[in-house]
A = this chain, B = another copy of it.
Amino acid sequence: MDNYMQRNGEIWAFENASKQELRVALANDHCENGDGYDGVVLGLDGGTTSTVCGYIRRCLAEVLSKSGSNRSAVRAVCLGISGVNHPTDQERVLSWLRKIFPSHVKLYVQNDAVAALASGTMGKLHGCVLIAGTGCISYGIAEDGREAWASGVGPILGDWGSGYGIAAQALTAVIRAHDGRGPQTMLTDKILKALDLSSPDEVIGWTYADTSWARIAALVPEVVFCAEASDQVANKILLKAVQELALSVKAVVQRLGLSGEDGNGSFPVVMVGGVLEANKSWDVGKEVVKCIQEFFPGAYPVRPQVEPAVGAALLACNFFMKELKENKHS
C-alpha cells in the first residue's frame, strides 16, 4: 500500500487493521474533472453485512484525520462488501450508511467482487474477476452492463477451487490414506506437523472443533508444498482446483459473450486472492490463466497493484462523476 502511495499521488489508501478486515481508501483530486468538484470520495472494502457496519464510523474518522481531511469534505462513498447479491441487501446496507453520512453524500454499495474487478481495471467495469482466497467466486460484467456470477456458493455447495475446498480435500486425503480408502501421501506428515497433531485420527476432532472456513483454508501452503515435492495426491487436488477455477471464469465469459462473436475478443481477467497469488513453482494462478486461454485466447490476466478498497474508491469516483454528468445534461 505504501508503494502505491509513492507511485500514484492521486490516491491515498489507508489500511485499517481491524479484525473485520475493513479497508478504507480515499481518493482525492483524481476525481476532479473541472466540474468544480473538490471533495474526497471514499472506498471501503471488506467484511460482511453482519460485521462491517459497526466499524465504519470509527475507521472513517481515523482515515479522514490521517489524510488531513474531514467528514464534511466527503462527496461519495462506495462500500464493497460480501453477501450483497440482491437489491434488498443493498438497500439494507445503504440505510446503515445513510445514518453515518450527511444526506448530500452519494452512497454506493457493491458486492466485494465488483470492487475487486475495479481494482484491476482502475475503475472500469468491464471484464471478469476471479477471487480465490478462503472462498472463491467469479464475476463478470459486459460493456452493456449485463452481469454474471459463478461459484461463490460456499463449501457445502462445492466451491472446490477455493482455499477451503483445496484444504478440505487435503484433510480428506489424509483420512483416506489412514483408513485404507486412498493412497499414502506426504500430506499426512505435512498436515499433522502443521496442526501439531500426532495421528490422522486426531484430524477429525481438529476439523470439527471449529469449522471456520478460514482456519481450514490456512492449510493451502502445505498442499502446495507437497505438490511441489511431486506428491501425486496433492498434485491432483491442485489440478482439480485449477480446473474448477477456470470453469467458473469460463461460465461467466460464455454467458456474457465477453470474448466476442469469434471467441478471440480481448478482455481482462482480474486475479485476486491468496490461492492465485502463491507465486511458487506450483503456481495455481498461472495454471488457471493457461486453462482459461485455451478457451479464450484474448483473455489477459491482470494482477491488481492496489487494494480492493482502492477499487471501491475508483468506483465511487466513477459513479459520482456519471451522476454529475447526467444531472448536468438533464
- A-side residues, CB < 8 A to B, are 85, 148-151, 153-158, 168-169, 171-172, 175-176, 179-181, 201, 203-204, 207-208, 211, 216, 247-248, 250-252, 254-255
Closest to A164 in B: B156
For the A-B complex with A154-B204, A180-B254 known, give 18 more contacts whose Cβ atoms are closer than 8 Å: A150-B180, A150-B181, A151-B179, A153-B175, A153-B207, A154-B207, A154-B208, A155-B156, A156-B207, A157-B168, A157-B175, A158-B169, A158-B172, A158-B176, A179-B251, A180-B250, A180-B255, A181-B248
A150 to B201, CA, bound (A): 11
Which residues of chain B are within 8 angstroms of A151 by Cβ–Cβ distance? 179, 181
Main secondary structure of the interface of A (DSSP, over half): helix
Task: Give bound CA distance, A254 to B153, whole Å.
Answer: 38
A179 with B154: CB separation less than 8 A: no
Would you list 18 pairs from A and B whose C-beta atoms are within 8 A, ordered by A residue? A150-B179, A150-B180, A151-B179, A151-B181, A154-B204, A154-B207, A156-B172, A156-B208, A156-B211, A157-B172, A157-B175, A157-B203, A158-B169, A158-B172, A158-B176, A179-B251, A180-B250, A180-B254
Contact yes or no, B255 A204, CB < 8 A: no
CB-based contact A180/B211 at 8 Å: no
**How far apart sit A171 and B151, CA to CA, in the bound complex (Å)?**
13
Contact between A168 and B156 (Cβ–Cβ < 8 Å)?
Answer: yes
**Complex partner residue of A251 from B181, B207, B255, CB under 8 angstroms:** B181
Distance A179 CA – B148 CA, assembled complex (angstroms): 8
The docked-state distance in angstroms from the alpha carbon of A181 to that of B245 is 10
Q: How far is the CB of A191 from chain B (nearest CB, A)?
A: 12
Residue numbers in B under 8 Å from A255 (CB-CB): 180
- Closest chain B residue to A179, Cβ basis: B150
Are B150 and A171 touching (Cβ within 8 A)?
A: no
Nearest-Cβ distance from residue A214 to partner chain B, whole angstroms: 14
- Shortest distance from the beta carbon of A163 to any chain B beta carbon, whole Å: 14
| Beta-carbon nearest neighbor of A255 in chain B | B180
Distance in angstroms between the alpha carbons of A154 and B131 in the assembled complex: 27
In the complex, how many angstroms separate the beta carbon of A182 from the nearest chain B beta carbon?
9
| A171 touching B157, Cβ below 8 Å | yes
A116 to B6 CA separation, bound complex (whole angstroms):
68
State A255–B204 Cα separation when bound (angstroms): 20
- CB A16 to nearest CB in B, in angstroms, measures 27
A168 touches B158 (CB 8 A): yes
Asked if A181 contacts B247 (CB within 8 A), the reply is yes
Contact across chains for B175 and A158 when beta carbons are under 8 A apart: yes
Cα–Cα, bound, A309→B176 (Å)? 30
Closest chain B CB from A124 CB (angstroms): 24
Bound-state CA distance A255–B251 (Å) is 44
